Amino acid sequence: MIIAIDVGGTKISAALIADDKILEQRKIASVIHSDLTNLSHYLIELCQDWIAQATLVAIACTGQVGDEYVNFLSAKQKLPLKDQLECAFKLPVTIINDAAAAAWAEYCAIKITAKHDTPTPSADSINLSDDTLVYITVSTGIGGGMIQNGQLVTCPDGFCAHLGHVSVQHNSQESITCHCGRVNCAEAIASGTAIAKQASLILNKKVSCKEVFEQYLAVAEIAQLIDDASSAVCDLIANIKAVTGTNIVVLGGSVGSVDIFHQQVIAKVANLPEIYQVRITPPKMGADADLMGAAFYANKK
């Protein structure tokens, strides 16, 4: 059995998993912004009674997840989380970025579907013959994960496949500075945080990204803002296509999954020069993608 834990910015979920199925699941509010130093204590407390049955611990974690340290970017603090958890759980621990875990879950889901689709593939079945897939989540921020030739792309310091920090074209004359220090990162233009910030300026009152999509799409300047954001994501996808050669981009997240946004991106990618065109699909895995992806990845390792 595997203990899988998803360490996010707002919540921490844990699950006991056997044969690719969740047997039990628990959640607590995240401690990243309140008591990050003691994170490993909270995680072991959450899973204490599962430890005797488990053989592996699989972590999906927000931030820059390197071999030795996790750099919690929003809390501006680094932790040797893998070592801490190996000492605490006394079990082997694998740790990957949460968007990378979701990417791995999507890749495994497509592989499993393809296996069961033979000998007559259904009309919407996805051909993953080159074993390359890119997952983009447009949510509070923009994250992602890449699978190239059947391998999850990782690197020693964890700063890879952070797709939100790919610089893209922006329709406005003014460049937007990203919190990473560069200008016109996709995240600075098209993330939920960026959309809410720019919409609040247009409407002259504080609005959330959810409210923007639910209430203000009829305002011409807001419609243009969303159009610019979907153009930025289209440009991001073209850049990714040029780098990875992927034929599949899974586009999810609380913004990326909004129908109007998702359809705009699909239409714009279809208008790119032919060599940049890729198939855009919604995620197959639900809310437990990070947990399942981390568990699938630990199993493979």
Contacts of 149 (CB under 8 A, 6+ apart): 130, 131, 132
Which of 66, 49, 63, 52 minimizes the C-alpha distance to 14? 49
Query: CB-wise, 182 or 300, nearer to Zn ion?
Result: 182
What sign has the CA pseudo-torsion 175, 176, 177, 183? negative
189 binds Zn ion (CB under 5 A): no
Q: Where does this chain touch Zn ion (CB under 5 A) — which range of 25-33, 79-87, 154-162, 185-193?
A: 185-193
185 binds Zn ion (CB under 5 A): yes
Q: Which pairing describes strands 142-148 and 151-152: parallel, antiparallel, or unpaired? A: antiparallel
Query: CB-wise, 192 or 293, nearer to Zn ion?
Result: 192
Q: Where does this chain touch Zn ion (CB under 5 A) — which range of 20-28, 34-42, 103-111, 170-178?
A: 170-178
Q: Where does this chain touch Zn ion (CB under 5 A) — which range of 130-138, 175-183, 243-251, 286-294?
A: 175-183
Strand, coil or helix: 161: coil
Residue 296 to residue 301: CA distance in whole angstroms: 9
The nearest distance, CB 178 to Zn ion, in angstroms, is: 3
162 binds Zn ion (CB under 5 A): no
Query: CB-wise, 185 or 225, nearer to Zn ion?
Result: 185
Query: CB-wise, 14 or 185, nearer to Zn ion?
Result: 185
170 binds Zn ion (CB under 5 A): no
Q: Which pairing describes strands 11-18 and 2-7: parallel, antiparallel, or unpaired? A: antiparallel
Cis peptide before 80 (omega within 30 of 0): no
Q: Where does this chain touch Zn ion (CB under 5 A) — which range of 9-17, 39-47, 159-167, 203-211?
A: 159-167
Query: CB-wise, 176 or 202, nearer to Zn ion?
Result: 176
Residue 254 to residue 241: CA distance in whole angstroms: 23
Q: Where does this chain touch Zn ion (CB under 5 A) — which range of 33-41, 118-126, 162-170, 247-255?
A: 162-170
Q: Residues 82, 162, 165, 170: which binds Zn ion (CB under 5 A)?
A: 165
Q: Where does this chain touch Zn ion (CB under 5 A) — which range of 42-50, 60-68, 173-181, 220-228?
A: 173-181
The nearest distance, CB 183 to Zn ion, in angstroms, is: 8
Letter for the amino acid at 255? V
* 8-state DSSP, 63: S
178 binds Zn ion (CB under 5 A): yes
Helices 259-270 and 220-244: crossing angle in degrees, nearest 10, is 50
- Rg (the chain; Cα; Å): 20
Query: CB-wise, 22 or 73, nearer to Zn ion?
Result: 73
The nearest distance, CB 200 to Zn ion, in angstroms, is: 20
Q: Residues 1, 22, 176, 180: which binds Zn ion (CB under 5 A)?
A: 180
Total chain residues near Zn ion (CB under 5 A)? 4
* Extended beta strands in the chain, E state: 2-7, 11-18, 21-29, 56-61, 64-65, 70-72, 77-79, 93-97, 133-138, 142-148, 151-152, 248-252, 279-281
Residues that bind Zn ion (CB under 5 A): 165, 178, 180, 185
